[in-house]
Structure 1
Amino acid sequence: MNTLRAVTVQFAVLLGVALTTSASAQTLVWEDNFNGPAIDGTKWTYDVGNGCQIGLCGWGNGEMQYYTSRTENARIENGRLVIEARREAFGGMPFTSARLKTEGRMHFTYGTLEARIKTPVVGNGLWPAYWMLGTIGVWPGRGEIDPMEAGMAAAIANGTANRRIGAAVHWDYNGSQADYDTSYTNPVNLHDDFHVYRLTWDPQFIRVSIDGQQYFEFAISNIEGASLHEFHQQQYLLLNLAVGGTFTGVTSPAAVTAPLPGKMEVDYIRLYQNPGSQLYVGTQHAVPAGRFGVFTEQTDTSARLTFGQDAELYLWNNLTPIAQAPFEGGSVMAYRANAGAWFGLGIQSDYRNLAAYAGGALKLHVKTTTPSTFKIGINTSFGDSWVDFVAGGNQYGLVRDGAWHEVSIPFSAFYDLDLQAVKQPFMLVADPPAAPVEIAIDKVYYQSR
């Protein structure tokens, strides 16, 4: 889905031959046939906004839509998922649409992913995509696989926009962005009917076909030499319909001439097992209600993080460890921050399904005298969500007197929190203090209702 270009490293050969391998002979491990009354929240979540909230206005591609979770933009209709782009002012953008993803719900490494999709009339300005992102790292180091994109500028220019599709991969190569992409012109218009797009991913190759006709192949077995680690780690699926952007070459609302509303329809998506496949399904890994230990040694918990195994503590800026007696056990997060610079830290973990904790609270013990404004946050599939502690204020049980106090923040105080897909269960960021300050944090856990 990302169209930026930096380094192009070619390791693949495009094969214009028909595939003979049948997905039906493999073991089905995950699917959505979109037969329910509404989009299944245990399988899908949404990206919402225009990208500015994560520092990528236009989603990094100059796109002109505001993604929503409204039924006007994404819904089940006649046994199909419908993603609809509309020309309407919303959230400061001239168009709306939707972007769905399985982040925190379904991730996989290797497999055969099959989707039956009908694209809209794309020329000029619509950009339907069926693609994947890695669960680890920062783009492009997390890796991206794009089995299908349509509406590209080159196809608009030569009059094949509604028959031409592209596939691509993006990754990090020696600290720079690397890309490989190909395109294919279908004999008939893609918007006239549904077509089956199949991704086959194994330790040697990534291959993509439409209706059995292969149009993309990329070799990934040279892991070290080509720096292809990203394509041997778990990825999640995305479906979206963008409006405009660098991929389409359409950069102004007036230049969007594709019929609107435009609909991308998905009949089904099915994942089949390949040798070496790994599958994560969030509903199968739900943490039981009770207490979930984030940084605690003595709290009675249903489950807890284990640092060095499934969690790491990162000091982001301006923090130096200091000696401090823990509130409990033998470990404590205790630091000094110098004057004049912001400070912050975060705990990152594997994905955790903490849906059972909705209605509960984040609890921790804090010892500090800092008068600075700071905020405590949680990162989920929806992005960062924060609760502010204003300068000198004592909210949620905080007392800035240099003694230990329990802070209890109800999850309802966090904006836009997806507890089914928690990636960073605890973060703290503070404004630059006027003088050096010390802060200690201990006994951090989630409490269910």
Structure 2
Amino acid sequence: MRIQRTLAATLALLAGTASAAFSPAGQAQTLVWEDNFDGPSIDSGKWTYDVGNGCQIGLCGWGNNELQYYTSRPQNARIENGNLVIEAHREAFEGSAFTSARLKTEGRMHFKYGTLEARMKIPQVGNGLWPAYWMLGTIGVWPGRGEIDIMEAGNAGAIADGVANRRLGAAVHWDYNGSQADYGHDYNSTTDLQNDFHTYRMTWDAQFIRITIDNQPYFEFAISDIEGASLHEFHQQYYLLLNLAVGGLYTGVNSPQGVTAPLPGKLEVDYIRLYQNPGDELYVGSSSATPAGKFGVFTERSDVVGRLNYGQDSELYLWNNLTPTSAAPVEGSEVMSFRAAAGNWYGLGVITDYRNMGNYAGGSLKFQMQTTTQSTFKIGINTSFGDSWVDFVAGGNNYGLVRDGAWHQVTIPFSAFYDLDLGAVKQMFMVVSDPPAADVNFAIDDVYYQSP
């Protein structure tokens, strides 16, 4: 879904990229994940949503000047006649002129290497619709996380050439020595693609990313020169995304008045199937749920069903303006104890692998804290929906915290967090504050999740 083109020619040569015809992998693979969209509704164990216009994550227009507001409403995403339907509408909604949907498997299914096949029917893209079937890496910050665009349609060049509904695009994006790098290739079909379903297949191994439509090749990218072309991003796990954008840089349509494509417009998906070889990587969140009980985030208590192992599957990051201090732990021998200087923001976060904490829905985050500060701070959790925060304001609801310098048990119901996806937790505990007026001293210990 990113459309900038930088360093493309140089890096394509460096990476050994070619757009010549190729043969798909011949070895037999095993079906390891699929969605045939045969149920009454979208399977929340396989898909979640991006909701909003991107501003909530500091990326208004989703980084591409897109015009739609993504929702999770059935009007925009549903199962219909055995197909997933993503439907864009022209309607005023939350300050946007259009609505649509963007689904993703983040926290539900990630994989490295395999053959991914989808049977889809795109809408009549005309001027302004932008269907996309693509992938993002699970590690890092874009472009360093990597991106693989398997199928996109509706670009400005195709509109100008009169082939908007026959031209497909595929692309990859990554970080090359600190700069954004891109390689893309377009393909013109002999028929209008909105009239029927077509099968899109990506084969991905340690050597190549290759993409076909109805067995006709239209993209190839060599990824074996990992060090020389800085292609580490394409050798880690990715998750899937499906969306139908309206307007944006890719389409060259940047105002609601410029959108003349027929609306409502539908992207329809009959099925998606993933096949892999032995040794390929697969993460399925539904089979990796953390058992109910107490889960230790930063604690040495013994009555937990599991715990984070710092230096192995998790790390404590001090983001800004925190100096370690001495404090007696409330339990065990470790404690988070810091001083933040006045006049500068401070923050920390416990970063982990993806964790399926779905069994803890309806439960709470518990920790011990001691402080005397009267300034406001926030406690947060990061999931597939982004950051979610609870404010601690002097005189407000402090969930058991007393600001008297003694240890106090703090209990925050998970229901107090906004837009929390416990099925895909990435940072299990965060603290942040705007610049305080006076120095702040605080200590935190015995942090754990409690199921209902």
> 1:2 maps to which residue?
2
Q: State the Cα distance separating 1:299 from its structure 2 match.
A: 4.3
How far apart are the structure 2 equivalents of 1:21 and 1:121?
32
Opposite residue 130 of structure 1, the aligned amino acid is Y
> 1:112 maps to which residue?
115
> 1:348 maps to which residue?
351
Opposite residue 98 of structure 2, the aligned amino acid is F
Q: Any residues of structure 2 matched to 1:418-437 within 5 Å, and which?
A: 418-437=421-440
Q: Any residues of structure 2 matched to 1:123-134 within 5 Å, and which?
A: 123-134=126-137
SS of 1:351's equivalent? strand
Which range moved further: 37-46 or 369-378? 369-378
* Aligned partner (choices 239, 244, 257) of residue 242 of structure 2: 239
Opposite residue 211 of structure 1, the aligned amino acid is D
CA contact (8 A) 1:372 1:432 kept: no
1:165 aligns to 2:168 (yes or no)? yes
Opposite residue 303 of structure 2, the aligned amino acid is D
SS of 1:402's equivalent? coil
1:443 aligns to 2:443 (yes or no)? no
Which range moved further: 216-225 or 102-111? 216-225
Q: State the Cα distance separating 1:113 from its structure 2 match.
A: 0.3
1:368 aligns to 2:364 (yes or no)? no
User: For the structure 1 residues 276 and 217, does the alpha-carbon distance in structure 2 shift closer, same or farther, using more than 3 Å as the test?
Assistant: farther
How far apart are the structure 1 equivalents of 2:91 and 2:371?
49
Opposite residue 218 of structure 1, the aligned amino acid is F
CA contact (8 A) 2:18 2:222 kept: no
CA displacement 1:204-231 (0-9 Å, x = unmatched) = 1111111101111111111111111110
TM-score, L = length of structure 2: 0.97
* Aligned partner (choices 212, 226, 230) of residue 229 of structure 2: 226
1:331 aligns to 2:326 (yes or no)? no
CA contact (8 A) 2:5 2:183 kept: no
Opposite residue 204 of structure 1, the aligned amino acid is Q
Opposite residue 31 of structure 1, the aligned amino acid is E
How far apart are the structure 1 equivalents of 2:216 and 2:387?
41
> 1:79 maps to which residue?
82
> 1:381 maps to which residue?
384
1:46 aligns to 2:46 (yes or no)? no
CA contact (8 A) 2:372 2:405 kept: yes
Opposite residue 76 of structure 2, the aligned amino acid is N
CA displacement 1:22-75 (0-9 Å, x = unmatched) = 68x420000000000000000000000000000000000000000000000000
Aligned residues with identical type, % of pairs: 73
Structure 2: 5+ residue stretches without partners: none
Q: State the Cα distance separating 1:324 from its structure 2 match.
A: 1.1
How far apart are the structure 2 equivalents of 1:18 and 1:176?
30
Q: State the Cα distance separating 1:17 from its structure 2 match.
A: 3.0
> 2:146 maps to which residue?
143
CA contact (8 A) 2:24 2:203 kept: no
CA contact (8 A) 1:85 1:262 kept: yes
> 1:154 maps to which residue?
157
Q: State the Cα distance separating 1:77 from its structure 2 match.
A: 0.3
1:174 aligns to 2:177 (yes or no)? yes
How far apart are the structure 1 equivalents of 2:23 and 2:102?
30
CA displacement 1:290-313 (0-9 Å, x = unmatched) = 011100012411111100000011
* Aligned partner (choices 17, 26, 30) of residue 27 of structure 1: 30
SS of 1:230's equivalent? helix
Which range moved further: 120-129 or 428-437? 428-437
1:17 aligns to 2:17 (yes or no)? no
CA contact (8 A) 1:116 1:196 kept: yes
Q: State the Cα distance separating 1:280 from its structure 2 match.
A: 0.1
How far apart are the structure 2 equivalents of 1:167 and 1:308?
38
Structure 1: 5+ residue stretches without partners: none
1:288 aligns to 2:291 (yes or no)? yes
How far apart are the structure 2 equivalents of 1:22 and 1:120?
32
CA contact (8 A) 1:322 1:335 kept: yes
1:186 aligns to 2:189 (yes or no)? yes
How far apart are the structure 1 equivalents of 2:122 and 2:196?
8
How far apart are the structure 1 equivalents of 2:129 and 2:60?
18
How far apart are the structure 2 equivalents of 1:13 and 1:164?
21
Q: State the Cα distance separating 1:323 from its structure 2 match.
A: 1.2
Opposite residue 211 of structure 2, the aligned amino acid is V
Q: State the Cα distance separating 1:276 from its structure 2 match.
A: 3.5
1:57 aligns to 2:60 (yes or no)? yes
* Aligned partner (choices 391, 399, 405) of residue 402 of structure 2: 399
SS of 1:146's equivalent? strand
Q: Any residues of structure 2 matched to 1:295-310 within 5 Å, and which?
A: 295-310=298-313
Q: State the Cα distance separating 1:275 from its structure 2 match.
A: 5.3
Q: State the Cα distance separating 1:98 from its structure 2 match.
A: 0.2
CA contact (8 A) 1:81 1:267 kept: yes
Opposite residue 276 of structure 2, the aligned amino acid is Q
How far apart are the structure 1 equivalents of 2:398 and 2:237?
39
CA displacement 1:69-111 (0-9 Å, x = unmatched) = 0000000000000000000011110000000000000000001
Q: State the Cα distance separating 1:392 from its structure 2 match.
A: 5.0
1:269 aligns to 2:272 (yes or no)? yes
Opposite residue 333 of structure 2, the aligned amino acid is G
Q: State the Cα distance separating 1:123 from its structure 2 match.
A: 1.1
How far apart are the structure 2 equivalents of 1:112 and 1:34?
19
Q: State the Cα distance separating 1:15 from its structure 2 match.
A: 3.9
Q: State the Cα distance separating 1:13 from its structure 2 match.
A: 3.9
How far apart are the structure 1 equivalents of 2:139 and 2:66?
25
> 1:70 maps to which residue?
73
Aligned length: 448
SS of 1:71's equivalent? coil
1:249 aligns to 2:252 (yes or no)? yes
Which range moved further: 413-422 or 298-307? 298-307
SS of 1:420's equivalent? coil
